[in-house]
Structure 1
């Protein structure tokens, strides 16, 4: 895939498959992921989806450790795209504040 393709947005079918792939057994992870999709699903790129898939290959406990910042990404996860998506997931932890 070239750089332009990686920056293409996910289509509806790919987004649906990614959401299904991101279902987790640990409620805490599901909350991070649910908020992530609520904020970012309309603008997710193929590159970000690949990074999210890489994170979903982790066990629930290892993923939660990354989401909570208990440990840094290691091995194959030391990539710019994974770091970006991990930051997006962590930021989604914070509730969206509405303006009065």
Structure 2
């Protein structure tokens, strides 16, 4: 389902996405900024994919974010791959 998350659900999702490893937190924050920068909000589909990634240990998540490995087994789903692709995109470089 691709319906936008309401403010309360988005707040809960942000809280759930807090990680113990700074590197993971940086990827997660960049994801939230990227999705919300165009005035959009995260969809329920993206939230499902993100929650599946948040169930991983910090080291396993970092391996996926750095493309050291790809999603396998129950993580090999379109919603997880969509979120992972957004999280892996580098920040756009601003011209000076």
Q: CA deviation at 1:29?
A: 0.2
Distance in 1 between residues matched to 2:70 and 2:2, nearest whole Å: 25
Distance in 2 between residues matched to 1:7 and 1:99, nearest whole Å: 33
Unaligned 5+ segments in structure 2 are: none
| 1:35-89 residue CA offsets vs partner (Å, 9 max, x unmatched) | 1111114331101101100000000000000000001101110101110100001
Distance in 2 between residues matched to 1:72 and 1:35, nearest whole Å: 20
The number of aligned residues is 93
Hey, which of these two has a bigger chunk of helix by percent?
1
Equivalent in the alignment of 2:14:
19
Equivalent in the alignment of 1:3:
none
Unaligned 5+ segments in structure 1 are: 1-5
Hey, which bits of structure 1, 4+ residues long, moved more than 2 A? 95-100
Equivalent in the alignment of 1:32:
27
RMSD (Å) for aligned C-alpha atoms = 1.1
